[in-house]
Structure 1
Amino acid sequence: MSINVILIKGGNKMKHLILSLGIILVSASSAAAQDISSANEAAVAAGVSTGASEMAVPATEPAAADVNEYTLGPDDVVEILVRRHTEFSGKYVIDKDGKIQYRFVGDIDVNGFTKDQLQKKLVEVLSEYIVEPDVNVAILEFKSKIFYVIGEVSRPGKFYMHGNTITVRDAVVAAGLPTMAAAMRKCRITRPSEEGKPAHISVNIYEILYGGDLSNNLEMLPGDVLYVPATVMAKAMRVIAPVTTPLSTAASTGRTVISAGTMP
């Protein structure tokens, strides 16, 4: 008797038990996945854009109020335009010390400035060189304030804020919305602390995204990490899948051996 035949006879109960459990979990998981997929489609249809990760165009368009209140910091990029004086115009990256090396003037500390405050500062500085300087400042790249979304989202990773904070809803949208395996009611924000003891804040993104309850739509701060865990069912499937696959393969091989033995 071949090893494959013994496996089929002796291991049938265990094989059927594991396969049955797998089928139950797959069926339940498929139903849950369909619910999440439908909810995501509804969210997109309602005008909630899915966004992109750090390497693409930022996901959420900044509101005018957010841009005006945004405080500049290292790695942000600003454009300075001085009307009728192109020699004072240009693009500048804010260095790690929060300064720009402004042409003909030298280092200017801009850390913590809003764009309007920087504009006033430049008018003050340039008044020593030109009469009534007409200055306009624009923020080209927002890179000083970082947040993270990890776990069961379509595009986990690092993202940049266009304001001094970002809501949980906008953060999840930026990460491409939850996957089918997401345990959306059990999410967590981890907030770093200078004392070395990070804070952990529970958040229900299902109610925020699909239940219409924005009371839990918290403001995330720079450095925050939003974790979207997997459901127990999804974790179980990841454990069972490697077990059921070889059993199914062995059973298929065994049937082939038996069939070959009965051939004339």
Structure 2
Amino acid sequence: MNRRNMLIGLIALPVAGCTNAYSNLPVAAAAASDRYTLGPGDSVKIAVYGFDMMAGSYLVSDAGTISLPMLSTVEVAGKSAPELEGSLAALLRARNLAPNASVSVQVDKYRPFYILGEVQQPGQYAYVPGMTLLTAVSIAGGYTFRANKNMAAVNRKNGTSQGKVRLAPDSPIMPGDTITIPEAWF
């Protein structure tokens, strides 16, 4: 009995050594459950009906703000486009600048995503809405011959928290994500 347990242990030991830091990560959901929130590096296009002075594209600063004529600095980080529309309309009404303000906010340019590890051209790339892991790898020139094509991890910044999860090929990628493609050992 003791020899049998020892033999099983010797067989299982090499297999246990094949795990890596990515294998313990939770698997990301295939559907994007998070609605997009604005953050530093995004650019938003704002239009206010009847108030042309405010129309234009605005870059979200590192502090998570934009500077608007007549409203000065406005906090936008962590807000979705519809939430920002409501905030701007309320500010315009509160300051009696446009009592019946109709505000439109669109994301003009998303912050980039980053891809590291076993891809042909690691680096920073422009985000495209609807992007998946497979799309991101393709943009980076494809996998290297050493890549573990069955494993990837993403470091995602959601507001103030960051999470690291394993990705399936159809997992959604978000602006600001850092994707790591590990090396395959066998």
TM-score (norm 2): 0.62
Q: Report the Cα offset of residue 187 of structure 1.
A: 4.2
> C-alpha distance in 2, partners of 1:79/1:169?
29
Matched, 1:79 2:45: yes
Contact 1:70 1:162 in 2 (8 A): no
2:61 equivalent in structure 1: 95
CA distance in 1, matches of 2:154, 2:110: 22
Aligned to 1:224: 178
Alpha-carbon shift at residue 77 of structure 1 (Å)? 0.7
Alignment partners' CA distance in 1, 2:164 and 2:46: 39
3-state SS of paired residue (1:129): coil
Q: Which has the higher strand share?
A: 2
1:113 partner SS: coil
1:189 to 147, 153, 168: 153
For residues 142 and 94 of structure 1, do their structure 2 counterparts lie closer, same or farther at Cα, with a shift above 3 Å needed?
Answer: same
Runs of 4+ in 1 over 6 A off after TM superposition: none
Shift of 1:166: 5.5
1:141 aligns to what? 109
Of the candidates 77, 84, 90, which is equivalent to residue 111 of structure 1?
77
Deviation at 1:126, TM superposition (A): 1.2
- How far is the alpha carbon of 1:231 from its aligned partner? 8.1
User: Greater share of helix residues, 1 or 2?
Assistant: 1
* Residue identity matched to 1:151: E
Contact 1:149 1:171 in 2 (8 A): no
SS in 2 for 1:69: coil
**CA–CA distance in 2 between the matches of 1:171 and 1:129?**
44
The answer to whether the 8 Å contact 1:187/1:229 transfers is: no
Deviation digits for residues 177-212 of structure 1, max 9, x if unmatched? 335x3444464426489xxxx9685x6x7xx4xxxx
Report how many residues are paired: 147
Distance 1:190 1:134 in 2: 38
Measured at CA, do residues 120 and 141 of structure 1 come closer, stay the same or move farther in structure 2, by a change above 3 Å? Answer: same
The one-letter code sitting in structure 2 at the alignment partner of 1:173 is S
What pairs with 1:4-43 in structure 2 (closer than 5 Å)? none
- Provide, for residues 108-138 of structure 1, a one-character-per-residue CA deviation record: whole Å limited to 9, x for no partner: 1111010111111111111221231121111
After TM superposition, the score normalised by the length of structure 1 is 0.46
Q: Which amino acid aligns with 1:152?
A: V
| CA–CA separation in structure 2 for the residues paired with 1:120 and 1:190 | 32
Q: Per the alignment, do residues 123 and 190 of structure 1 end up closer, same or farther by CA in structure 2, a change over 3 Å counting?
A: closer
Say whether 1:129 aligns with 2:83: no
In the TM superposition, what is the alpha-carbon distance from 1:96 to its structure 2 partner? 1.0
Q: Which amino acid aligns with 1:146?
A: F
Shift of 1:90: 1.9
2:141 corresponds to which residue? 176
The share of aligned pairs that are identical, in percent, is 21
The CA RMSD measured in Å over matched residues stands at 3.5
**Are the structure 2 counterparts of residues 227 and 96 from structure 1 closer, same or farther at C-alpha, using a change threshold of 3 Å?**
same
Following superposition, the deviation at residue 229 of structure 1 comes to: 3.5
Matches within 5 A, 1:236-247: none
CA distance, structure 2, for counterparts of residue 137 and residue 125 of structure 1 = 14
Q: AA paired with 2:75?
A: D
Q: Which runs of 5+ in 1 are unaligned?
A: 1-64, 209-216, 233-264
